[in-house]
A and B are shown apart, each in its own frame.
Chain A
Amino acid sequence: MRTISRLSRFNIASLALGLAFLYLPILILVIYSFNASRLVTVWGGWSLRWYHEFFADRAMIEASWMSLRVAVASATIATLLGTLAAVALSRGERFRGRTLFSGMLYAPLVMPEVITGLSLLLLFVALNAERGFWTVTIAHTTLTMCFVAVVVQSRLGSLDRSLEEAAMDLGCAPVRAFLSVTLPLIAPAIVAGWMLAFTLSLDDLVIASFTTGPGSATLPIRIYSEVRLGVKPEINAICTLVIALIAVVIIIASVASKLSSSQGESAAPL
């Protein structure tokens, strides 16, 4: 077979090393979260000790709850706004302020988080807004809706425009055509966008640090302050739980999108 012969030994080696590099650290972290011993040097046998300790840690639990609420709320708002933005950019043709609009949507994708965080904080201070759940949610929505917009826009762009024309030809007004044909077809991308927004929000340390108030730390903020003091097995356990949560979200979403559509072409998770 030609495709196999194209694959040189160098190709295989770089792939294997690359994947090992990507996965080994996480694997080690997960394994050590089950280590009974406090010392990383010693394997003390399998144990759920650090998970018990995590669930006994009120501050950690509160931070986790805060993070989850922020992630769900901001991902949902961001998915709504990001999808609308993607529709406007990919179906709106030329309109006034389009360049500014797309610039504002693409810049936060790479903008250093310290800048985004600082600028939002200064806004909230100027507005005299009480900092906490809502300020972090707004900040995360601002960042993650841009990612949603890109994911959905790339799906909309690859969609055959004649499908929408066919719907109109068969009696749909434009908005109806969008709802009954386009929306079901981009649904996997919208789901992927939500998941991306959810994990980005759950992940964010810098922007949350700027925009949250005293007494409402998110999980990454708590983890960060613990990690600065050194490695603690309890952190391994929390990290493993977060990884498991994200894995479950990804699995559910990909199964759902497989079930909802057999159109062969599924949206990539990025």
Chain B
Amino acid sequence: MTDESPRTGAAANAAGDAHPAAGEPLLRIEGVAKTFGTFRAVDGVSLDVKAGEFFALLGPSGCGKTTLLRMLAGFEAPDEGRILLGGRDIAQALPHERPINMMFQNYALFPHLSVRDNIAFGLKRSGMARAEIAPRVAEMVALVKLEGLEKRKPDQLSGGQRQRVALARALARRPQLLLLDEPLAALDKKLRESTQRELMELQRRLGMTFIIVTHDQEEAMTMASRIGVMKSGKLAQVAPPRELYEAPRSRWIAEFVGDINLFDAESKLRDGHRLVIGTRDAGTLVVAEPRQPFGDSRFSVAIRPEKVKLSRRGPVSEAGHGTAINVLDGVIADICYLGGTTTYKVKLDTGGTVQASVANSARLDVDAYSLNQQIVAWFTPDDCVVLPS
């Protein structure tokens, strides 16, 4: 451990002396790596997070996202690389020396302290005057709408209330960076959705920087302004939600984020701004030329199910679409009714299958497709993405 200046995290908090220079990111992670035994949990991650961002680290369990978060909080020290907060390298600083706070996955509320004392805990440590603590605690209680529960102990609170206390406690010190480790995992679906909205609103109002770790891609998509997808200790792609969904950089990301139809390519021909691609399972497909050129390596054509349209006879002409349309004939092989949408699995005459997600826009749909019905699936070249395998 390097010899840090004896400055406490609290002082750094209060003075706010670590503000980045204009244009500099608040947080810069440079080539950070961490190995446990022989397992390389985080493998050379570099990332910039700007002040005011709501950043999500998304990935399957064991991908290293929690280890990365714990290195930001100071519970693990990286074996390699630097972590700069406002230009200062904090990689080896102890947790209490960092102007960063964390909301723990199981909340880690102190069971022997009341709601008020839990929230005041970090303030007392920062040497804040007693007279200032009470109003700050009251402000935090109001912020998370827990008025009237200040004297309760954590085991007298519901799951949602506990989550709010944990949030208030972590925010009370006004950290430069708030880390949230699967903050909504313990809540049920309905509560999770309303809490997501509240967290977003809170972050926007306070103008703070949040980094959230989650394995739930819907959660990351809903809340974050940018998402970093992690796989085996590496950042696979960093992009805003829309870009991540519509322009995934690899086949793995496309499959991890949402559902997708993939067709392995066997040949390609250039035709102006389009590529004509021969696939084994879906015949010849016309796709828009990808923005980033790719070599002659193996690749696939990908199309999201909601962009695949179905009809009995063939493509219905829609304004704005070009003439070249991919048309595939097939039979409905499986129907999965999901309420708002219905997913159809279409067995193509060419051998493959394609999934189409259709919105149920009418309550009584006399025209709903039925099993084994002959069908035409179609989609435009612009809706397709070419992905390296």
Contacts and interface: CB of A to CB of B under 8 A. Distances in A.
B94 interface: yes
A25 to B, nearest CB: 40
A170 B173 contact: yes
A165 B112 contact: no
B9 A263 contact: no
Given A166-B104, A171-B122, A262 B153 contact: yes
A261 interface: yes
Contact of A171 (B9, B102, B112, B155): B9
A169 B112 contact: no
A163 B108 contact: yes
Contact of B111 (A168, A171, A177, A263): A263
A162 B110 CA distance: 10
B155 A264 contact: yes
Given A262-B153, A262-B155, A263-B155, A168 B96 contact: yes
A176 B94 CA distance: 13
A173 B62 CA distance: 29
A181 interface: yes
Contact of A166 (B74, B108, B126, B155): B108
Contacts of A163: 108, 110-111
A194 B173 CA distance: 38
A169 B110 contact: no
B230 interface: no
B121 interface: yes
A106 B351 CA distance: 69
Contacts of A261: 111-112
Interface in B91-146: 94-96, 100-102, 104-106, 108-112, 121-122, 125-126
Interface residues of A, number: 23
B111 A185 contact: yes
Contacts of A264: 111, 155
A157 interface: no
Contact of B125 (A160, A170, A174, A263): A170
Interface string A161-205: 011011111111110110011001100000000000000000000
B111 A169 contact: no
Interface in B2-32: 8-10
B106 A160 contact: yes
Given A170-B122, A171-B122, A162 B155 contact: no
A171 B8 contact: yes
A180 B120 CA distance: 13
B304 to A, nearest CB: 38
Nearest to B119: A170
A180 B170 CA distance: 17
A215 to B, nearest CB: 47
Nearest to A187: B112
B112 A185 contact: yes
A167 B121 contact: yes
A99 to B, nearest CB: 21
B217 to A, nearest CB: 25
B169 interface: yes
B369 interface: no
A110 B95 CA distance: 42
A171 B121 CA distance: 9
Contacts of B170: 169-170
Interface string B329-340: 000000000000
B155 A170 contact: no
B256 interface: no
Contacts of A169: 73-74, 95-96, 100-102, 122, 170
A87 to B, nearest CB: 18
A180 B9 CA distance: 18
Contacts of A171: 8-10, 96, 122, 125-126, 173
A191 to B, nearest CB: 14
Interface string A69-111: 0000000000000000000000000000000000000000000
A77 B110 CA distance: 29
Interface string B68-79: 000001110000
B125 A172 contact: yes
Contacts of B75: 165, 168
Residue among B104, B105, B112, B170 with most chain A CB within 10 A: B112
B75 to A, nearest CB: 6
Contacts of A185: 110-112
A218 B111 CA distance: 42
Contacts of B108: 160, 162-163, 165-166
Contacts of A174: 94
B173 A166 contact: no
A262 B106 CA distance: 19
Contacts of B105: 162
B132 to A, nearest CB: 15
A166 B167 CA distance: 12
B95 A165 contact: yes
A40 to B, nearest CB: 51
Given A169-B96, A170-B173, 8 more contacts: A162-B106, A166-B104, A171-B122, A172-B96, A173-B94, A262-B153, A263-B155, A264-B155
21 contacts: A162-B104, A162-B106, A162-B108, A163-B110, A165-B75, A165-B102, A168-B74, A169-B73, A169-B74, A170-B101, A170-B173, A171-B10, A171-B126, A174-B94, A176-B125, A177-B96, A180-B121, A181-B110, A261-B111, A263-B155, A264-B111
Give 10 closest A-B pairs by Cβ, nearest first: A171-B125, A170-B122, A263-B111, A166-B108, A168-B95, A162-B108, A184-B112, A171-B96, A169-B102, A162-B104
